[in-house]
Amino acid sequence: MNAMVKRRVHVAAAAIISADGREVLIARRPSNVDHGGLWEFPGGKLAPYETGLGGLRRELHEELGVEIQRAQPLIRIHHEYPDKHILLDVWQVHDFSGEPFGREGQAVRWVPMDELVNYPFPAANLPILRAVMLPTEYLITGEEEDEARFATRLERALVEDGVRLVQLRAKALDEAAYRERAQAALSLCREHGARLLLNGEPELLEAIDADGIQLTSERLMQLERRPIAEGKWLSASTHDRRQLDHAGRLGCDFVTLSPLRTTPSHPDVAPVGWHDFQQLVERAAMPVFALGGMTRHDANHARAVGAQGVASIRDFWK
């Protein structure tokens, strides 16, 4: 086949979420088709002139016998298969009518989010799994000198705001003090079912069994290989195309992209703005959180332009 005329395929797929928010519906591809026997998110190729959501409505009706009531964009993935370029346009479906079943004879199964990794999916699907498992809000902890007040603030965000993803950022602390705070933060996060990423060196995970590491953009660019195991979450701070591409090569599970707006903390840095943000995110190989002047009120807009959601200190650290 001539590589110059690789087929371009636009596919719409759905992460259908159970009413309690804990499970997602997956289906097994028949053994006689492309990627046969692998699991997938239900959906299929768009017909000419169909929109993503329009095509998805048709596919879910045909494949599962359900009608979409409410859907939100989750992630768009561009992936090169040997024979084709595929755009996977994935939607999170929160409400639907009808009882899903395999109308084409395929197996369908409700699976708890954190068991998704045990199912074999096509190669393009890894970022989708990440996106399904991640929330729309990412709390970055702010300055705090007092450990008791730190704990109170973190617990407030976990309980009142329902935060489920936390980055412990504490540039003012020395290593010993950081570790101590990390242990306290980890217990609180565990207690409330939240994940904790440590902002710092990958080696920190040897001392503190947190859920992952957030790299600075500087550290990101120095690394040539993923520095932590697949079972832990790797994130990085990015500000431009070069850093996003490098994060993709390194196998980052998600990233932040900033500053979306000008912020008091970085007044001299030119903001990315929604327009460029959307273009950068479109080509990113992993879920992206918008950071910089964001509040939870920006989350829907962020999703609409392709982001996983918003990351913020200000809006959660009260």
Ligand X SMILES: Nc1nc2c([nH]c(=O)n2[C@@H]2O[C@H](COP(=O)(O)OP(=O)(O)OP(=O)(O)O)[C@@H](O)[C@H]2O)c(=O)[nH]1
Distance, in Å, from the CA atom of 250 to the CA atom of 16, rounded to the nearest integer, reads 29
Decide which of Mg ion, ligand X, none touches 11; Cβ closer than 5 to 8 Å per partner kind.
ligand X
In the bound complex, what is the minimum distance in angstroms from residue 15's beta carbon to Mg ion?
14
- Residue 308 — φ and ψ, nearest 5°? -70, -30
Residue 35, interface with ligand X (CB under 6 A)?
A: yes
By beta-carbon proximity to Mg ion, the closer residue of 29 and 192 is 29
Strand 254-257 relative to strand 233-238: parallel, antiparallel, unpaired?
A: parallel
Other CB atoms within 10 Å distance of the CB of residue 177: 12
Which residue reads 């929109």 in tokens?
51
Q: Are 168 and 180 in contact (CB under 8 A)?
A: no
Residue 125, interface with ligand X (CB under 6 A)?
A: yes
Q: Are 163 and 157 in contact (CB under 8 A)?
A: yes
Residue 33, interface with ligand X (CB under 6 A)?
A: yes
In the bound complex, what is the minimum distance in angstroms from residue 135's beta carbon to ligand X?
21
Q: Looking at 117-125, 141-149, 197-205, 210-218, which segment touches ligand X (CB under 6 A)?
A: 117-125
In the bound complex, what is the minimum distance in angstroms from residue 55's beta carbon to ligand X?
8
Other CB atoms within 10 Å distance of the CB of residue 68: 19
Name residues contacting ligand X, limited to 52-111 (CB under 6 A).
59, 86, 88
Binding interface with Mg ion (CB under 5 A):
44
Q: Are 9 and 84 in contact (CB under 8 A)?
A: yes
By beta-carbon proximity to Mg ion, the closer residue of 22 and 45 is 45
CA-based R_g, the chain, Å: 20
By beta-carbon proximity to ligand X, the closer residue of 122 and 227 is 122
The annotation places the binding site for Mg(2+) at 43, 63
By beta-carbon proximity to ligand X, the closer residue of 125 and 136 is 125
Q: Given candidates 7, 22, 34, 143, which one binds ligand X under the rule CB under 6 A?
A: 34
Q: Which two tokens stand for residue 293?
A: 């002047």
Per the rule left: phi > 0, alpha: psi between -120 and 50, beta: everything else, 306 is left
By beta-carbon proximity to Mg ion, the closer residue of 10 and 232 is 10
Q: Which two tokens stand for residue 280?
A: 């950068």
In the bound complex, what is the minimum distance in angstroms from residue 120's beta carbon to ligand X?
11
In the bound complex, what is the minimum distance in angstroms from residue 284's beta carbon to ligand X?
17
3-class state of residue 5 by DSSP: helix
- For ligand X, the binding residues (CB under 6 A) are 11, 13, 33-35, 40-41, 43-45, 59, 86, 88, 122, 124-125
